[in-house]
């Protein structure tokens, strides 16, 4: 990035938003791993985000998007170019009724689990499964996040996105080709800025009981006490990744500070001091050994950023 380009960004962020250079990214990822970003931006709103995208396009500058940092592994050398962090800790979801349907509209930068908890606390049904999913609403939409039999596609009504030219579009959920851990959003280079969910009033006590039940299951079965990126591999057709990894004898398998969780083999954890290189090596080893043993190719769910 040239000095002129840095100055253009500094001018754009001088009054609002946040800009930093050489920002350490380990503090912004749930793996607690990652080197610095050349330029780190947190836009104040959609207008500033759109202006940021247009500026990068006009200047031929490279940028990448980060949500809650919960499904990514950042390279030890960090990220070249700009990292745009889509975080929104201030705004709240808005609710309105449409007949018997409750429509909840939320910023893409909000915590998905926080939004889901707010929905459940209001006695609204449909998002109990998401109360423990790390990440932002936008990230959840991009990957059609799901757990315990529920997925974003089940209740998503529409999303607002920015195109790579900074144009705002409103798309119906059916236009996103949502399937298991997939949407068209990455291939079209869209940035989700807002999402609306179609939900329904429910029994508040029954919903609360469901949330408590799922929270207990997560604590019992997932290594929440260690930094990780959540489930490391996508579920291969006809199999469970964690079971394949366990049956391959890889429970507790370690490379440097990275380890296949002894609690749940579908998670790779940072036991302390793990590097991105450790995690990548471990993932590669797991993929190779599982394929040699069972002929099944494991595809990482984690995105690699550099």
d(CA 228, CA 70): 8
Half-sphere exposure of 66 (CA within 13 A, CB side): 26
Q: What residue spans of 71-178 are helical by DSSP H?
A: 112-121, 137-142
Of 6, 117, 181, 204, the active-site residue reads 181
d(CA 306, CA 120): 37
Residue 90: its pLDDT value, please?
Answer: 81
Domain with CATH 3.30.43.10 in the chain: 3-85
Active-site residue 181, yes or no? yes
Residue 106: its pLDDT value, please?
Answer: 97
Active-site residue 98, yes or no? no
Of 32, 201, 301, 306, the active-site residue reads 301
Residue 6: its pLDDT value, please?
Answer: 92
Residue 121: its pLDDT value, please?
Answer: 96
Residue 276: its pLDDT value, please?
Answer: 98
Residue 95: its pLDDT value, please?
Answer: 97
**Cβ atoms of residues 284 and 291 within 8 Å:** no
Residue 244: its pLDDT value, please?
Answer: 98
Asked: is 3-85 a CATH 3.30.43.10 domain? The reply is: yes
pLDDT in tens, the chain (306 residues): 899 999 999 999 999 999 999 999 999 999 999 999 999 999 999 999 999 999 999 999 999 999 989 999 999 999 999 999 998 878 899 999 999 999 999 999 999 999 999 999 999 999 999 999 988 999 999 999 999 999 999 999 999 999 999 999 999 999 999 999 899 999 999 999 999 999 999 999 999 999 999 999 999 999 999 999 999 999 999 999 999 999 999 999 999 999 999 999 999 999 999 999 999 999 999 999 999 999 999 999 999 999
Mapped to the 3 state alphabet, what secondary structure does 33-79 carry?
Answer: CCCEEEEEEECCCHHHHHHHHHHHHHHCCCEEEECCCCCEEECCCCE
Residue 124: its pLDDT value, please?
Answer: 97
Whole-structure pTM value: 0.90
Residue 217: its pLDDT value, please?
Answer: 93
| Burial status of residue 41 (CB atoms within 10 A of its CB: 0-12, 13-18, 19 or more) | buried
Active-site residue 113, yes or no? no
CATH topology of domain 224-305: 3.90.78
Residue 91: its pLDDT value, please?
Answer: 83
Domain with CATH 3.30.465.10 in the chain: 94-212
Which CATH architecture does the domain made up of 94-212 adopt?
2-Layer Sandwich (3.30)
| Burial status of residue 161 (CB atoms within 10 A of its CB: 0-12, 13-18, 19 or more) | buried
Domain with CATH 3.90.78.10 in the chain: 224-305
Of 183, 228, 231, 261, the active-site residue reads 231
Using left for φ > 0, alpha for ψ between -120 and 50, and beta otherwise, residue 46 falls in alpha
Residue 87: its pLDDT value, please?
Answer: 86
């Amino acid at each position: 990035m040239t000095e002129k380009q840095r100055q253009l960004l500094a001018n754009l962020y001088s009054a609002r938003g946040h800009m930093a250079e050489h920002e350490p990214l380990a503090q912004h990822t749930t793996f607690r791993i990652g080197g610095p970003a050349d330029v780190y931006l947190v836009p104040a709103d959609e207008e500033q985000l759109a202006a940021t995208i247009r500026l990068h396009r006009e200047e031929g500058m490279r940028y990448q998007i980060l949500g809650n940092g919960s499904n990514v592994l950042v390279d030890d050398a960090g990220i070249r170019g700009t990292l745009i962090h889509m975080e929104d800790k201030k705004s709240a979801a808005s609710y309105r009724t449409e007949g018997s349907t409750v429509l909840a509209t939320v910023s893409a930068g909000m915590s998905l689990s926080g939004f889901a908890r707010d929905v459940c606390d209001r006695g609204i049904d449909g998002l109990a499964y998401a109360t423990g999913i790390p990440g932002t609403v936008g990230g959840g939409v991009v990957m059609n996040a799901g757990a315990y039999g529920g997925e974003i596609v089940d209740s998503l009504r529409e999303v607002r996105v920015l195109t790579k030219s900074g144009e705002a579009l409103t798309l119906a959920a059916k236009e996103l080709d949502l399937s298991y851990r997939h949407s068209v959003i990455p291939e079209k280079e869209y940035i989700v800025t807002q999402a609306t969910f179609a939900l329904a009033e429910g029994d508040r006590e029954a919903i609360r009981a469901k949330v408590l039940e799922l929270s207990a299951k997560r604590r019992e079965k997932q290594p929440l006490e260690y930094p990780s990126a959540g489930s490391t591999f996508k579920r291969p057709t006809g199999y469970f990744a964690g079971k394949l990894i366990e049956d391959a004898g890889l429970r507790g398998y370690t490379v440097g500070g990275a380890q296949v969780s002894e609690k749940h083999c579908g998670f790779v954890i940072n036991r302390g001091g793990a590097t991105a290189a450790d995690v990548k090596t471990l993932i590669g080893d797991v993929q190779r050994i599982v394929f040699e043993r069972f002929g099944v190719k494991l595809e990482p769910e984690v995105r690699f950023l550099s």
